Amino acid sequence: MSLSDKVALVTGGGSGIGKAIAKALLAEGCKVIINGRNEEKLEQAKTELGSNVESMVCDVTDEGQVENTFSSIISNYDRCDILINNAGMAAKAKAHEMKYETWKKVINVNLNGAFLCAREAMKIMIKQKSGRIINIGSISGQMSRPENAAYTASKFGLEGLTRALALEGRDHGIAVSILHPGNVGTDIWKGREEIAEREGLIPLEDIGKLAITMLSMSPNVNILGSVILPITQPYLGRG
């Protein structure tokens, strides 16, 4: 299926995975909106990605801001064909030492934010009788790392949300998927180069390629879930 002229929102699109997927969508001819909390980072990404990108400051945990974002998309484009739920955060801490505020913050961004964006997108997509949503999960949502309870729980929850939304969307021509990356070559590995070298990193371009593959399926086909990781990463057998 051609993605040319499709309207796509990428949350957390100012850097990393989000920016890489936005770049891949642009290459396919999509009209792309990136959002995030950091206006400076969004403007820098917009400069790098080109004039066909629109940026919107939005905290995905703020219901009003999310609603306003989708209202703006409808006002400007009259539709929303693709949502990439990428905004996320992590917090390393042992569960018995983790502050409740930290727990709530991670769950709020990774799960509640994804729900709010998906809810607003589906309202539009149901009227269109078409649309695709990709939630960016993690292999930590299948096999946890130590000191990673909040992030792991949020990504397991995102898997459940994906399945629920896919079930509710299928009668309306809406495909909902989850993409589980392993280690990705982003700035998160600064200061942890030894781990990155040992386990390997996925080039950001390959995340973009996989997202495009998932989005380009025939209208009646959905890749419900996908896992992408370096061959050298200890995922199989790490549990």
Radius of gyration of the chain (CA): 17
- Cα distance between residue 118 and residue 168, in whole Å: 12
Judge whether 174 and 164 are in contact, CB under 8 Å. no
Find residue 148's DSSP bridge partners. 93
Choosing from 77, 100, 151, 235, which is the catalytic residue?
A: 151
Give yes or no for a contact between 95 and 35, defined as CB atoms under 8 angstroms apart.
no
* Rounded CA separation 151/141 (Å): 8
Q: Are the beta carbons of 217 and 191 closer than 8 angstroms?
A: no
Question: Is 235 annotated as catalytic?
Answer: no
Catalytic residue annotation? 151
